[in-house]
Structure 1
Amino acid sequence: MVVAVWAVSAGMVTPAAADTELPDHLTKMRMPEVWKVADGTGVTVAVIDSGVKDVRGLEGRVLPGVSFMEPPAFRPDVQYSPHEDYTGHGTSMTAAIVGDGSEGGPHGLAPGAKVLPVRTSVGTHMAFAVGGELAKGLRYAADNGARVINLSLGVYPGWPMDKIKPAVEYAQSKGALIFAAMGNNGESSNLNNAIAALPGVIGVGAVDINGDPMPFTSYGPDTDLSAFGGKVPIRCKDNTAWCMKDGGTSLATSLASAAAALVWSAHPDWTSHQVARVLIQTAGAPRDGAQRNDWIGYGAVRPRMVLLDRAGEPGAPDTDPLATPAAAQTPAPSADPTAAPPHRAAAAESGFSWQWPILVAVVGVSLGLGITMIVKRRRS
């Protein structure tokens, strides 16, 4: 069986931009106005990923965290710091949530939030251990104050879920809201992130600056929301500088997680179900009038609808909106990204360098039970 762990690739080094210069997707989302209402203060977002390197722009925004990386068999005494990052993926996702834009890095969507780094073996030769590490990370995050858990990584159907599924359920029982990237596999919809199919997990797709689904975004019935996944500063493969690269569904998931942090910052008494519900209700729905589609879900996250326009009804605190979806609101067109009509995603361009499965581990796993995609919700 082939097991793939998804992560990020690199691009060209970009010169440093002015710290005050916001990228177009944040300007369209009217973030300077939103930040006057809420900036994520008081909310902890766990980033379960490849670690977080201490770089400019993240000072004072990253908590001590933990590493669950398994040491190699020949060096069982080795310990890994959560503040190291071989691939730069976790650092990039953290900056997309809380970065201040220093030295050409990203401006985070929720700069007042705190990130709890949980390091796994993603991006290393020990990636076959990520399943168990991820499960430990979910429990650790839930036990250490994370209200939002960001999974800008995933596993393909067929990965043993006997540890991951109970850990997801445990984190949810502690009140955490979990976002998982759908994946960057374009037309290979059978390679969607299996974690996104778990009940209550928010599966996130990627849209461009105009709200159109990006060609590589994975899609299917487990897509719940979407966010910008275009070009942003991403750590280069040697993790020594920022590169301009499509962020894909990894970036989109970080932005969705940050949007939840903004809403929770303004409404700290809401439950995870209520935060999820208002994000669904206020998302930029498909332009053809559909409530949702498999490419963008209920639409692109628009925290300004909740925080500036006071839209959305939090509803029942104990009812999962994905089990009984609330009707999505479709306001008049605005400057925020909206969703395109459903269409089959085009194949990625030749030479397109953003590839999610950059690491493939081949393991011999005998599955006594057939692992299938779990039905997350009932649809009428």
Structure 2
Amino acid sequence: MSDNGWVPELVQAPAAWDTTKGEGITVAVMDTGIGDHPYFDDKDILPGYTVFPDEEDGRGDTDGHGSAIAAGVLLVAPEATIMPIRMDTGATDFGSSGDSDDEAFRWAVDNGADVLVVPWVINGTGFSGEEIEVLQYVIDKGAIIVASAGNDPAGEVGYPGLVPGLVTVTGTNRNGDIWFDNTTTGPEVVVAAPADEMTAPVPQDPTLGNTELYANVVGGTSMGSGIVGGVAALTWAAHPDLDASNVIQRVIQTAGDGGGNRNEDFGYGLVNADQAVHAEDIEEVTENPLGYPMGEAGASGATPDDAASEDPAETEAGVETGGPAAGGAEANKESNLSTIIVVAAAVVLIAAAIAVWLVLRGRSRKNAVAAEGGPFGPNDGQPQGAYQQQPAMQQQYGSPPMGGQGYGGPPPGPQGYSSPPRGQQGFNPPPGGGDQGAPWRPSDPNRQ
């Protein structure tokens, strides 16, 4: 895998690693599963899911495609969690499993996937109904879908990459220029990522008779989609307070020259992990900047607040997962907000308790003085001719007006746990000027 060093360098991932390597973000690889290999031994790989009823989970790969894509994700985000979703064996086209393919998408997001990488395309037209609704469901649940555009220079972007709301990836060569000879372009392309020849791990399944640990793969937009999945993981890990829409916003607004311009060849441009993680003043969005499969947010009826499957073991493939709670980073965001609310409530209660203690203490001292015949005589009677003491100002223990500090709502101004303020993004062009070569594309249907 050392031969792939040009890939993280091209997308400027090493500069992002100073801040994060993707820990805490779960990336589902919707492919042929992930096989055993020494490369994965020290990585966080979940059991995952399979659409095939005679298999236990997604930890099997008789083709090698899924293993290659997972390695691509980890090449950029080495500490991300990988969830293998086995939807194909490599011997047949994707989509042959029918309803079980749709169930795989739902299972992934219901069981903690933050980012779903879809490194394949189905060519043709007329995708509607459940095929579109399941993508909407994933987005409504608060996750990001990264899809490859295809590897046919003369063709059109296929499903699911042609659907609005997805981060559709085309491919570049080692120079960062669009690899027009082996990738698909079109108006649906969102970003570009490395897709040139790479080294990939070969699954070490004894039944396959593999003798080599690694092999060179042609590349393609499949590998590019894995790279973008890794960039999304880095971005979300660095900004866990963001929702999926604003993670996408950071990825697309910092791609290419950072100008936020899009064209049919490379979308917004080559992804830039450094800027996606570190850029300031990225304009906040309230909805997915790429749109929605069914036209509007929430059209599937799902929300990020939906509970996970009650018992993952009872799903169609009968698999359990060690993944995070459903809702992914959105759930983590809500958990952080709940913590803030609890701490604030505790502060208010402590302040109230101190106030009550001060009142009771004052009364106790007053009663003691009266019982002992204090300076004003028994029963607090004041002797004639004595100085008339002015009554003390009554202490305020309630919330001051306008939610003053320490009592009510947070002080005005940014709090550091919401999206950055609107304004110009702080993108710095790479050395040598801001000209950005055209990006690249995904793999051909079902292959790197």
Is the TM-score greater than 0.5? yes
Q: 2:444 aligns with which of 346, 353, 356?
A: 356
Q: Determine the structure 2 residue equivalent to 1:299.
A: 269
Q: Determine the structure 2 residue equivalent to 1:67.
A: 50
Please give the residue correspondences for 1:41-60 in structure 2 after superposition, counting only pairs within 5 Å. Answer: 41-59=23-41, 60=43
Partners of 2:281 and 2:264 in 1: CA distance: 22
Q: 2:123 aligns with which of 137, 146, 156?
A: 156
- Number of positions where the alignment pairs a residue of Structure 1 with one of Structure 2: 309
1:223 is displaced (CA, Å) by: 0.2
Q: Determine the structure 2 residue equivalent to 1:242.
A: 214
- Return the letter of the residue paired with 1:194: Y
Q: 2:69 aligns with which of 93, 96, 99?
A: 93
1:158 is displaced (CA, Å) by: 3.1
SS in 1 for 2:230: helix
Partners of 2:240 and 2:106 in 1: CA distance: 22
1:269 is displaced (CA, Å) by: 1.2
Q: Determine the structure 2 residue equivalent to 1:33.
A: 15
Please give the residue correspondences for 1:88-237 in structure 2 after superposition, counting only pairs within 5 Å. Answer: 88-98=64-74, 108-125=75-92, 127-158=94-125, 160-189=127-156, 192-214=157-179, 215-235=181-201
**Cα 1:42/1:337, change in 2 over 3 Å:** farther
Q: Determine the structure 1 residue equivalent to 2:307.
A: none
Partners of 1:328 and 1:193 in 2: CA distance: 32
Q: 2:226 aligns with which of 254, 257, 260?
A: 254
1:117 is displaced (CA, Å) by: 0.7
**Cα 1:337/1:136, change in 2 over 3 Å:** farther
Residue 321, structure 1, aligned to residue 289, structure 2? yes
1:334 is displaced (CA, Å) by: 3.2
Per-residue Cα deviation, 1:197-227 (whole angstroms, up to 9, x for no partner): 2221111100112221112110111000111
**Cα 1:26/1:181, change in 2 over 3 Å:** same
- Return the letter of the residue paired with 2:138: A
Partners of 1:64 and 1:337 in 2: CA distance: 43
TM-score, scaled relative to structure 1? 0.73
Per-residue Cα deviation, 1:122-164 (whole angstroms, up to 9, x for no partner): 5124755244333111101110111101001121123654322
**Cα 1:358/1:341, change in 2 over 3 Å:** closer
SS in 1 for 2:44: coil
**Cα 1:241/1:334, change in 2 over 3 Å:** same
Partners of 2:102 and 2:90 in 1: CA distance: 17
Residue 265, structure 1, aligned to residue 237, structure 2? yes
Structure 2 unaligned regions, length at least 5: 293-422
- 8 Å CA contact 1:131, 1:164 repeated in 2: no
- 8 Å CA contact 2:85, 2:104 repeated in 1: yes
TM-score, scaled relative to structure 2? 0.62
Partners of 1:267 and 1:305 in 2: CA distance: 13
1:323 is displaced (CA, Å) by: 3.8
1:311 is displaced (CA, Å) by: 3.7
**Cα 1:333/1:138, change in 2 over 3 Å:** same
Partners of 2:253 and 2:66 in 1: CA distance: 29
SS in 2 for 1:196: coil
SS in 1 for 2:40: coil
SS in 2 for 1:197: coil
Name the stretch that deviates more: 269-278 or 237-246: 237-246
1:246 is displaced (CA, Å) by: 3.0
1:234 is displaced (CA, Å) by: 2.5
**Cα 1:203/1:306, change in 2 over 3 Å:** closer
1:331 is displaced (CA, Å) by: 4.5
Name the stretch that deviates more: 129-138 or 165-174: 129-138
- 8 Å CA contact 2:120, 2:443 repeated in 1: no
Provide the alpha-carbon RMSD of the alignment: 3.2
- Return the letter of the residue paired with 2:103: K
- Return the letter of the residue paired with 1:197: L
1:295 is displaced (CA, Å) by: 1.5
**Cα 1:130/1:186, change in 2 over 3 Å:** farther
- Return the letter of the residue paired with 2:174: I
Residue 79, structure 1, aligned to residue 49, structure 2? no
- 8 Å CA contact 1:219, 1:295 repeated in 2: yes
Partners of 2:166 and 2:443 in 1: CA distance: 23
Flag the structure with higher helix content.
Answer: 2
- Return the letter of the residue paired with 1:86: T
**Cα 1:97/1:154, change in 2 over 3 Å:** same
Partners of 2:26 and 2:438 in 1: CA distance: 35
Q: Percent identity?
A: 27
**Cα 1:358/1:257, change in 2 over 3 Å:** closer
- Return the letter of the residue paired with 1:83: R
SS in 1 for 2:169: strand
